[in-house]
């Protein structure tokens, strides 16, 4: 009976109820959109970091990550390679030679990180090959180099131009070699593009005089959610001569930033909820004051305060449920197309690329976020009706019946 009365009461003043519904729909649609954008930005940042150079796991000689000197190459890298090949949870890996140095052209010079790679292995681990915008990917020639677009602009070079790379050798002197720019890549991370170059591993080994040695294994897993357990297995299999790091270990600031994004979205949702509460309180109070005589009659014929209180809460709850359903549909209708086409924020491309996000953001819907939003709005609606319902049950029946 209470539910039936509450439903009828909602539509006695259609204009007021529609205004409340619209506010709930707009609020929920905003929550769904902002949650989708936030999830999309976080996932894109993680994807870009992992698929550029971090990967899911990295294996080095013990102590290399805290002291990246050229002599700290991996002992017996064939042993590491055999363990990775035998692990069914490993999707791909790439051996890398690592060095910091200077890249010079006829026009300018810049400090760079030089990666020596096997082109085929690296193509299975990172997105560098698919990020080539000019020229071509490394073919295997020892005199080829690929560089970032920002770095190419700084050096004033183009595809086919000659550059000279310099770095400290294993003996402590300066090793250098000349290369031709085979390709130019552009990623979503402008800072990465400014300071990273790739050459064939053999060319860097010759330049640095390191012999047939590598500094790093970059590993991609079939399921990155198992990264912690796989790290433990690899540490047990490799022993104390090696160190194994997950992307979480290598990107602590980024993981903190992800948590910060989630907290900021929670605060934004609370702000939206508070704004809705004030609107619902105002609307429900108006409804209560317009129906004072009706409440007086109901109390006079024996309706208990608890029943009257629940009836008003049911009205707000039904508005919340109806607004939630419509809001979820509107949010999904907006989010789903945007998840495929993306939102082009090229006006803010420079700032976004400095964070490693990219100019186009693809919203990502989370089932958990949708469930939270679906529960949040009815709760907010009921919360906004608590005070008006309290005011209704505090009315004196005689006063209420005679109220004009």
DSSP codes, 87-154: -TTEEEEEEEEEEEEEEE-SS-EEEEEEEEE-HHHHHHH-STGGGEEEE----S-TTEEEEEHHHHHH
Query: What are the mean pLDDT values of the chain's consecutive 10-residue runs (404 residues total)?
Result: 74 79 85 82 80 90 89 91 93 94 93 94 93 93 93 94 92 89 89 92 91 93 91 92 92 77 77 80 78 77 81 85 88 83 66 60 78 83 84 73 61
- Find all residues with CB under 8 Å of 249, minimum gap 6, and list them: none
Residue 313's pLDDT is 86
Spatial separation of the C-alpha atoms in residues 60 and 66, rounded to whole Å: 11
Spatial separation of the C-alpha atoms in residues 357 and 352, rounded to whole Å: 5
Place of tokens 């294996």: 59
Residue 278's pLDDT is 81
Q: Give me the phi and psi of 360, to 5 degrees please.
A: -110, 125
In DSSP notation, 313-331 reads: HHHHHHHHHHHHHHHHHHH
Q: Give me the phi and psi of 304, to 5 degrees please.
A: -75, 155
Chain mean position to CA 372 = 18
Residue 153's pLDDT is 92
Per the CB < 8 A criterion, the answer to whether 154 and 317 are in contact is no
Residue 108's pLDDT is 93
Residue 359's pLDDT is 63
Q: What is the DSSP letter of 178?
A: E
Residue 3's pLDDT is 75
Pairing of strands 196-200, 144-148: antiparallel
The domain ranges of the chain are 2-49+254-401, 63-239
Q: pTM here?
A: 0.73
Residue 180's pLDDT is 95
């Amino acid at each position: 009976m209470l539910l039936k009365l509450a439903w009828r009461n909602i539509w006695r003043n259609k204009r007021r109820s529609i205004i409340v519904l619209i506010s709930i729909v707009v609020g929920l649609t905003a929550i769904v959109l902002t949650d989708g954008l936030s999830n999309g930005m976080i996932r894109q940042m993680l994807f870009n970091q992992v698929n550029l150079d971090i990967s899911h796991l990295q294996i080095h000689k013990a102590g290399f990550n805290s002291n990246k000197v050229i002599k700290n190459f991996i002992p017996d890298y064939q042993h590491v390679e055999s363990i990775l090949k035998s692990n069914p949870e490993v999707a791909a890996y790439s051996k890398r030679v690592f060095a910091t140095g200077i890249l010079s052209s006829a026009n300018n010079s810049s400090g760079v990180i030089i990666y020596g790679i096997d082109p085929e292995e690296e193509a299975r681990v990172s997105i560098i090959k698919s990020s080539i915008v000019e020229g071509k990917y490394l073919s295997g020639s020892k005199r080829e180099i690929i560089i970032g677009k920002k770095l190419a602009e700084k050096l004033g070079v183009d595809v086919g131009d000659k550059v000279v790379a310099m770095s400290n050798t294993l003996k402590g002197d300066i090793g250098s070699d000349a290369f031709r720019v085979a390709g130019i890549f552009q990623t979503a991370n402008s800072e990465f593009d400014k300071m990273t170059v790739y050459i064939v591993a053999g060319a860097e080994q010759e330049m640095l005089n390191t012999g047939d040695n590598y500094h790093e294994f970059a590993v991609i897993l079939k399921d990155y959610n198992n990264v912690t357990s796989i790290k433990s297995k690899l540490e047990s299999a490799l022993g104390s001569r090696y160190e194994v790091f997950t992307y979480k270990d290598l990107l602590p600031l980024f993981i903190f930033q992800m948590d910060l994004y989630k907290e900021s979205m929670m605060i934004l949702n609370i702000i939206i909820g508070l704004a809705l509460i004030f609107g619902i309180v105002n609307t429900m109070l108006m409804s209560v004051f317009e129906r004072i005589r009706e409440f007086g009659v109901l109390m006079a014929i024996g309706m208990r305060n608890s029943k009257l209180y629940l009836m008003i809460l049911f009205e707000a709850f039904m508005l919340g449920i109806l607004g939630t359903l419509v809001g979820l549909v509107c949010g999904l209708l907006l989010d789903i197309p945007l998840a495929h086409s993306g939102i082009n924020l090229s006006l803010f491309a420079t700032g976004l690329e400095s964070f490693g996000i990219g100019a186009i953001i693809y919203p990502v819907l989370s089932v958990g976020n949708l469930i939270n939003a679906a529960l949040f709005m009815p709760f907010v609606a009921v919360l906004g009706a608590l005070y008006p319902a309290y005011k209704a049950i505090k009315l004196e029946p005689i006063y209420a019946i005679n109220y004009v």
